[in-house]
Structure formats: C-alpha cells, structure tokens
Structure 1
Amino acid sequence: MLDQLKYTNKLKEARVLIIGGTSGLGFGAAQALLEQNISQLILSSSSTTRIEAAIAKLHSLYPSTSAAISGYACNLADESNLPANVENLFSQIGTLDHIIFTAGDAPLLTPFLETPFDTIKAAGMVRFFAPLLIAQHAQKHLTPGPASSITLTSGVSGEKPIPGWTVTSSYLAGLQGMMRGLALDLKPTRVNLVSPGGVDTEMWDVLDGEARQGVVAELARHTTTGRVGRVKDIAEAYLYCLRDWNLSGSVISSNGGRLLV
C-alpha cells in the first residue's frame, strides 16, 4: 500500500512561466519547481543566450526530469515596444497554471535629488510597468480557478527605505498596492508578492571580489540572523505562494529580520 501524496504532489503536472528565470531568484525558483515534478517550465529573459544557458544548466542539474523546459526572449526595458513585447511573449505560450515574476535590473544608485525624470521613469520599466502589463495578458492564459496564481517580486526597501533610494523604494512599495488590486481584478486567480531582503545572487558579481564581499557583509549586518539571504531559502517563498490555494493578496517577506534592525 502506497502513502498518500496530497502535499508533495500539489504542483505535479503544473505548467509554470518564470519571467526573469535565468538567474538569481528566478533560477532558484526554477530548480525548486523541477523538484516538485511540474510538467512544463518556461523561462523568459531579455537574452536568448542566457535562456539557452539556463536551460542547459537545468538539464545538467536534473538529468532525469520529465518536465518540458523551454524559453522565450522578451525585452521588458524597452518602453516604446513593451506592450508589443509582452503580447508577443504570451502569443508563444499555451495554457499556464502559474506565473512567477522575478525580472529586475540594477537598482538606481543616483542620489534622488540628482535624478532626472527620464531616469526615474526608466527605473520602473522592468520592475513595475512590466508586471502590470503581464498581468493584463496573464488571465487569458491561466487555467481558471484559485489553483492558478501570479506571484510578483518586490524588496524590503519598499517597507524600510534606504537613504537615497527613494525612486527604487517607491516602485517596490507600489508593487504591494498593485498586487492587492490584481488579486481583486483577476479573481479567482490568486495574486501574491514575495518581498526578499538582501540576497547573495549574481547581481553583485559586477563588483570585484573585495567589494562584493563588503556588500554581502553589509547586507548580513542588517539582519537578525547574522547572514545574507540565500536563493535556496527565498525559493521556498515562491513554492508556498503556488502551493497554498487559500493565499491571495498577501506579502511573503523573507528578509532575515531586516525590518527589526
């Protein structure tokens, strides 16, 4: 007699699109989902080269997976073509059960008082306007009902701002309002948001070794856990958002106690 598997098999045969799934949190979520026996994983990124590399890496990490893994390029930073790019992405995708949005670009580091309007607007193209447009198209591709979901990604500085980060913090805070509005407008599809604190990802690889270590150490200093977040830990938050069919309009915050320090 076999054990029941009503928990570990909750995502079995699911079809999932991860926008921003070729690195960082998105790639971590992709690995976690393959371990949940989903049937189809679709990655999207601005670069075809990165998509191909990520797919190859996933196949090397999970050689026995039965999931179909594919990917489509979509440039979310191009303001004039953003609506057409998003529409084209969904035109290549069939029915989905879940969408995870982890796409982002480098945080705006220009001091707020020195930031021109064009730069302010561009800073929100990927992290704010893109997920809003994606949500407009998503409903037509998601299986109807509360088993389906959209999960957005924000950041802890939307709740606890960093000096000089007013522009970035504004968009991150706005994502919480967006998520709650979408949870109403797209019901019964569930919409939630993952809000991580500092995470050790490839984003910091642009720095040299010593500078990178300094950034990671500084991020760890502003926690109660004494260490910076790990991708494999935050990936659990995305799994939860997909697996709990009673969760909608909620923020899952994985920040190592950043809000307390």
Structure 2
Amino acid sequence: MTSYLSDSAFADRTVVVIGGGTGIGLAVARHVVGAGGSVVLGGRTHQTLRDAADGLGARARWATVDTTDDASVAAFFADVDVVHGLFTTAASYVTGPIADLSIADAATAFDTKFWGQYRVVKTALSSLADDASVVLMSGAAGARPAGPAPAYSAANSAVEGLARGLAVELAPIRVNAVAPGTVDGNLWQQRDPAVRRQAFDSYSAATLLGRVSTEDEIATAVLHLFLNTTTTGTTVFPDGGYTLR
C-alpha cells in the first residue's frame, strides 16, 4: 500500500482505531504506522486483532472492546494514556423496511453505530490531547437512502449531527464524520459473489464516477481529517459522487 503521507506525519502521535483489525480501520492503522505513528487497535475478536497488530509491527498494540458495553469501553481506555486521533468503525446492525423489522432490530443501528461511537468518545474524553482529532463513521445512506432501511439511514444522519455537536462542545479538539458509500473490501468479500457483483453494479450506476470505492480511499479521507487542522464539524463523503446523483 503506497501512502501519500510523509514518513513522519504521525510522529509522536497515538491513534486509536476501534474496528482496527480489518477493513477500513486496518487501512487507517497501516497508514498511521507507515507515517511514524503508534496505533491502539480495538475490537471484539482476539485473533483478528493479534494478527493485525503483528502485521503492523512494534508501534501497534491491541485490546478487545465491545462498544455497546460501558465497562468494556472503560477498561479499554484505562490503558491508553493519550489519544491524538480516534476513529471507530465497529458496528453490527440489522437493516430493512419499517414494516418488516421489529423495533428491537431497527434499534440495532442506533445501539451500535450511534451510541457505540458516542460511548467511545465520552469515555475517551480525559485521554484526548488538546489538538486531538476525532473522526466518526457515518454513511452515504444518511444523505441519500439506498433502499428501504429508514432506521439505518436515520442513524447515519444522527452520527453526522453528533459530529457537529461535539465539534462545538470539544473545540479546539476537532470532530468530523466520514460517510462512505459501498466499499469493495472486507465486509463485501464475505458475501456471495453474485450478490456482491449485483450490488456493486447497481451502486456504480448511481455514482458520478461509475464505481465503488476502496478501503484505502476511505482511509485516506480519514487521514485527511486527522491531519487538517482547520476542518471541524463537517462530513466528508468519499462515495464516488453517490450523494450528488
């Protein structure tokens, strides 16, 4: 993976990536380490985190964490002295039409994607450096729903509102959101190839650029928000122009 960053862009800085064992989170971690920084990876699966940290080298460490559990998140941050960058991708939820989903299933998008990130930021407050940057994970569906999944769309919009609210409250700490669309990467690689191809073709046809994004492209958007010292309270859409069609 080629990085556009200098080899010292993250020197003497520590970035926490929850959901950092795979996918976009791991891509962010690779760039940070490659640019001289240290990373703390969080997630729920020991082996995945261990393998990721081993691949990243001496400047990476890991601990398990469940972002839906107060005690688990508190225990995770108890071993983190200072945080210069914070990014959380970990979430697991059920999507579908309002007519089909139970309230409990519909609430999973908020329970994990919204409240999970809220809980992580709240718990990390005492560890955030004065010049820290927090990047929340939203999604293009918040601005342009892709199908009948209203609770999921609403959760993404709520995350973007959270970023704006936190930017006001926590300044000069910067808080932004990144809102990708369909991404060719770890999550989609686990699905049936025919389903994946159909989804990619449909999404590509609805974008200005005519293709899905890569995990590394989303990661570089996150890195920009980590490093750009005048950007706060905004949402970046690395979605190929999906929200503009």
Q: Structure 1 unaligned runs (5+)?
A: 1-5, 60-66
* In structure 2, C-alpha distance between the alignment counterparts of 1:129 and 1:94, rounded to whole Å: 23
Matched, 1:180 2:171: no
Q: CA deviation at 1:129?
A: 0.3
Matched, 1:87 2:77: no
SS in 2 for 1:114: coil
**What's the counterpart of residue 126 of structure 1?**
112
Contact 2:140–2:181, Cα closer than 8 Å, also in 1:
yes
Q: Structure 2 unaligned runs (5+)?
A: none
Cα 1:157–1:225 change in 2 (3 A) is same
* In structure 2, C-alpha distance between the alignment counterparts of 1:171 and 1:234, rounded to whole Å: 19
Q: CA deviation at 1:58?
A: 2.8
Which TM-score applies when normalising by structure 2? 0.92
* In structure 1, C-alpha distance between the alignment counterparts of 2:6 and 2:174, rounded to whole Å: 19
Matched, 1:217 2:201: yes
- The one-letter code of the counterpart of 2:241 is G
Q: How does 1:64-213 map to 2 (within 5 A)?
A: 68-77=59-68, 82-105=69-92, 108-144=94-130, 147-213=131-197
**What's the counterpart of residue 53 of structure 1?**
51
SS in 1 for 2:32: helix
Contact 1:76–1:125, Cα closer than 8 Å, also in 2:
no
Larger Rg: 1
Matched, 1:236 2:220: yes
Matched, 1:34 2:21: no
1:182-221: CA deviation from partner (whole Å, max 9, x where unpaired): 1122222111111111111111133222222222222222
SS in 1 for 2:126: coil
| Identical counterparts, % of pairs | 24
1:103-146: CA deviation from partner (whole Å, max 9, x where unpaired): 2225x3332212111112223222110111111122200122xx
1:7-48: CA deviation from partner (whole Å, max 9, x where unpaired): 76342221110011111111111111122111x211001111
- The one-letter code of the counterpart of 1:210 is A
Which TM-score applies when normalising by structure 1? 0.87
Q: How does 1:238-257 map to 2 (within 5 A)?
A: 238-257=222-241
- The one-letter code of the counterpart of 1:113 is A
Contact 1:139–1:186, Cα closer than 8 Å, also in 2:
no
Root-mean-square deviation over aligned CA pairs: 1.8
- The one-letter code of the counterpart of 1:176 is E
- The one-letter code of the counterpart of 1:49 is Q
Q: Which moved more, 1:41-50 or 1:110-119?
A: 110-119
